[in-house]
A and B are shown apart, each in its own frame.
Chain A
């Protein structure tokens, strides 16, 4: 991709910039900005450095209609027309933009009676279902830093997905009740493969693939003094009962335990039942000591997407507004299903790449319908869109608010301006045009 030459402007330092690559949303980054390029990102991890240093001003038109550059206003009109004329429009994505943009996107979905879904459905959507069934014994990352003397990671590999998780929040920091930092904490990692994170563990437990549910319910049984058959436990989990008994003793003797879980639970056999198992285990542990549980969220503002969609519709994802009121049903109103079943007849994809990561039947259907895409980068989705908007990057060019994985709202401190529109501006334009079409129809 061709980029513009950096301008000869004096160096600018941005203190406490916010990284929005992953759900850790680290807000202590010091950026060195030279013109329209970030040249240093102090304190950022490998993913954060890559995030800040690779979002320059790309030489792209703000809008493409069927692959050809077009005026922004023409794109906005065409996008609104596609969405307004559709009988079953889908609005999807939203986890890599600000809550301000998410709010407008939900508004558009409401006006046009769309099916609304976020990348949560292919991330921790099953955990969202489990929260409704089991509740959530939750905490902030600040509590983890200051209190947790036992930290368990289950089906999560923060060394590669959230590289500062250990050092900023969960293992290394010295906290109020863990003054010696790492020395005061016990770390357990449970996974089907020995990931790069396993090196950080005091105890690594490798379980059989697709047996998380059985392993979690083994621990639940032990927490509730239920007698277990050692042979069955070993057969089902790949580990002897004595290992699970030892782990349960460690968990009971912790003063403050926390379990972080990842998509190793939600994407594999069991899905929401796995998440429910870990939430119920956390609840069980609170009969013995204090325990909390948090999903390790992936995208920078996927937590904000859950919050905004829940605030505006009553449900966190997979919401259908076609009847003029919200209906929630994962498996029916979630994007992957709506597309794979060939139901949507138009779509708007915001900051997401379903053409790159959905199942083939879903991708085939999306390719067959007119759709609108908004993304700072060129992706398989933006390339295939009837209307594609190249937008400025949130947190680097665009201000706003994002929610960290523990539901703490954090402001963005952008580094430099972009000539490209923000997705907020594009979405506000589409909403205005939808309302104009609506008012013309009902005049």
Chain B
């Protein structure tokens, strides 16, 4: 089973603090290790809290933990994760003449590894 979502990578407090402690440190690595989902999306897809899922874009794929977003934070169909190695692997190299790759609003597909 696979379903299409829109991914918004961004700054989180934990990710920002993790940069200061060091990118190979526990805080940073933890901050970039999960993606947040709307609870209704998780229920519909049968994804449990902390389950490892695969996010796949036209440019790459990563395995990442799924976590439930706070109620009302994310509408259905939208995902959020902290900027980092995993979110960058889902970006394309084309910047459409701007210098900026499309780093937010990335089309991704969720693949359950247990399917």
Q: Is A97 an interface residue (CB 8 A)?
A: no
Q: Which residues of A contact B102 (CB under 8 A)?
A: 267-269, 271
A129 to B96, CA, bound (A): 13
Which of A334, A353, A380 lies in contact with B99, CB distance below 8 A? A334
Which of A117-125, A182-190, A426-434 is the contact stretch? A117-125
The answer to whether B98 and A340 touch across the interface, beta carbons within 8 angstroms, is no
Q: Is B72 an interface residue (CB 8 A)?
A: yes
Which of A63-71, A227-235, A242-250, A356-364 is the contact stretch? A356-364
Interchain Cβ contacts within 8 Å, total number: 149
What string of 1s and 0s marks CB contacts (under 8 Å) between B31-55 and chain A? 0000000000000000000000000
Restricting to B40-89, which residues have a CB under 8 Å from any CB of A?
59-60, 72-75, 78, 80, 83-85, 88-89
Q: Is B110 an interface residue (CB 8 A)?
A: no
The answer to whether A331 and B78 touch across the interface, beta carbons within 8 angstroms, is no
Task: Please report whether the interface of chain B is mostly helix, strand, loop or mixed according to DSSP.
Answer: loop
Q: Which residues of B contact A121 (CB under 8 A)?
A: 99-100
Q: Which residues of A contact B94 (CB under 8 A)?
A: 340
The answer to whether B20 and A54 touch across the interface, beta carbons within 8 angstroms, is yes
Q: Which residues of A contact B100 (CB under 8 A)?
A: 121-122, 125-126, 266-267, 271, 334, 336
Q: Which residues of A contact B96 (CB under 8 A)?
A: 271, 331
Q: Which residues of A contact B10 (CB under 8 A)?
A: 157, 263-264
Q: Which residues of A contact B92 (CB under 8 A)?
A: 359
Measured between C-beta atoms, what is the minimum distance from A59 to chain B in Å?
13
Restricting to A30-78, which residues have a CB under 8 Å from any CB of B?
46-47, 50-51, 53-55
The answer to whether B98 and A194 touch across the interface, beta carbons within 8 angstroms, is no
- Smallest CB-CB A-B distances: 9 pairs: A334-B99, A340-B93, A331-B97, A121-B99, A361-B93, A50-B17, A268-B105, A330-B99, A267-B103
12 more CB-based (< 8 A) A-B contacts, given A268-B104, A359-B93, A377-B19: A50-B20, A125-B100, A126-B98, A160-B13, A192-B105, A331-B96, A331-B98, A336-B95, A337-B99, A360-B59, A378-B24, A380-B23
